[in-house]
Amino acid sequence: MESALALEQCDAPRLERIGAVADADLMFRMGGGYRGEALSRIDSLLASDDSDAYAQVVKSLAVPEYRETMEGRAGRFAGSLPVQLAIVPRKAPPERWQVLEHQFPDGKPLINLVRLARGDEGPDVKDQLITWSQTPTRWDEGWAEFVKRQVTAHLDGDATSNLDNLAHDALTQAVDVGWNLTPAAA
> Residue ranges of the domains in the chain?
2-174
Question: Contact 177/54 with Cβ under 8 angstroms?
Answer: yes
Output the pTM of the full model. Answer: 0.84
Predicted local distance difference test score (pLDDT) of residue 8: 63
Predicted local distance difference test score (pLDDT) of residue 94: 86
User: What is residue 110's three-state secondary structure?
Assistant: helix
First to last CA, the chain: 36
Predicted local distance difference test score (pLDDT) of residue 168: 93
- Phi-psi category of residue 31: left, alpha or beta, with phi > 0 → left and psi -120 to 50 → alpha: left
DSSP, res 91: S
Instruction: Provide block-wise average pLDDT over 10 residues at a time, the chain (186 residues).
Output: 65 83 94 93 93 93 90 82 91 88 93 90 85 87 86 81 88 74 38
Predicted local distance difference test score (pLDDT) of residue 113: 93
Predicted local distance difference test score (pLDDT) of residue 111: 94
Whole-angstrom Cα distance, residue 30 to residue 38? 10
